[in-house]
Chains A and B, each alone.
Chain A
Amino acid sequence: NAGVTQTPKFRILKIGQSMTLQCTQDMNHNYMYWYRQDPGMGLKLIYYSVGAGITDKGEVPNGYNVSRSTTEDFPLRLELAAPSQTSVYFCASSYRRTGSTDTQYFGPGTRLTVL
């Protein structure tokens, strides 16, 4: 199993450009998440999905969009990049069932710089 994979590893964007961060998991997990990690701020949840076709906002969703057409893929879209979106982005997945703990498995991250 590759686990959670993310592409690209690094990217530099100009203000106003758009891009999609890719995330794929091969563990047949139902839940998937997008976080951003800024220095001194911990991990903040951007969006999450409970299954194919179902997504919901997290703590910091503004400026981002997501879709989940398959169990495996959960891309994150930045439409109009801004310097405030410079961050490290982590995708995670977990298999939740009633009464169980939510162990989230993280990808290696995408380092995004917006200039």
Chain B
Amino acid sequence: QKEVEQDPGPLSVPEGAIVSLNCTYSNSAFQYFMWYRQYSRKGPELLMYTYSSGNKEDGRFTAQVDKSSKYISLFIRDSQPSDSATYLCAMSETSGSRLTFGEGTQLTVNP
């Protein structure tokens, strides 16, 4: 069993839709949770960062962490074609420890 599970998609939505991307994990020691966005043929870039449980909002993006269920989500409101990318979740036990990545979900937002 993988330590972090992420549905690879592909996920295709119309412009303006609300997108929900999710990851589950098995390691209860994970405390730091991140979402990276990776455009085609580019390196990943950090999109959102959350510590422990709760919500964090940044513009059209909201990250949620439910440690009791070992489940994290990224919501994208009013999705745009420019949001088309692969979204990777990543998590670690401490702020300085190794990141464990999900395999990424490929998202396409159609105009």
Which A residues form the contact surface with B (CB < 8 A)? 4, 40-45, 48, 58-59, 90, 92, 96, 99-109
Which B residues form the contact surface with A (CB < 8 A)? 4, 6, 8, 32, 41-46, 49, 51, 88, 90, 92, 95-96, 98-99, 101-104
* Complex Cα gap A33–B92 (Å): 15
Interface of chain A: mostly helix, strand, loop or mixed: loop
The answer to whether B103 touches A40 (Cβ under 8 A) is yes
The answer to whether A40 touches B8 (Cβ under 8 A) is yes
Look across to chain B and name the residue whose beta carbon is closest to the beta carbon of A96. Answer: B96
The answer to whether B8 touches A109 (Cβ under 8 A) is no
Known: A42-B101, A42-B103, A102-B92. A108 touches B42 (CB 8 A): yes
* Complex Cα gap A100–B101 (Å): 20
Rounded to whole Å, the gap between the CB of B55 and the closest CB of chain A is 17
Count of A-B contacts with CB under 8 A? 52
The answer to whether B102 touches A42 (Cβ under 8 A) is yes
The answer to whether A42 touches B43 (Cβ under 8 A) is no
B99 contacts across to A, CB distance below 8 A: 43, 45, 102, 104
The answer to whether A109 touches B42 (Cβ under 8 A) is yes
The answer to whether A99 touches B95 (Cβ under 8 A) is yes
Look across to chain A and name the residue whose beta carbon is closest to the beta carbon of B51. Answer: A101
Look across to chain B and name the residue whose beta carbon is closest to the beta carbon of A41. Answer: B103
A102 contacts across to B, CB distance below 8 A: 92, 95-96, 99
* Complex Cα gap A42–B4 (Å): 10
Look across to chain A and name the residue whose beta carbon is closest to the beta carbon of B102. Answer: A42
A107 contacts across to B, CB distance below 8 A: 43
A101 contacts across to B, CB distance below 8 A: 32, 49, 51, 95
The answer to whether A103 touches B98 (Cβ under 8 A) is no
* Complex Cα gap A4–B43 (Å): 10
A103 contacts across to B, CB distance below 8 A: 46, 49
* Complex Cα gap A80–B92 (Å): 32
Rounded to whole Å, the gap between the CB of A68 and the closest CB of chain B is 17
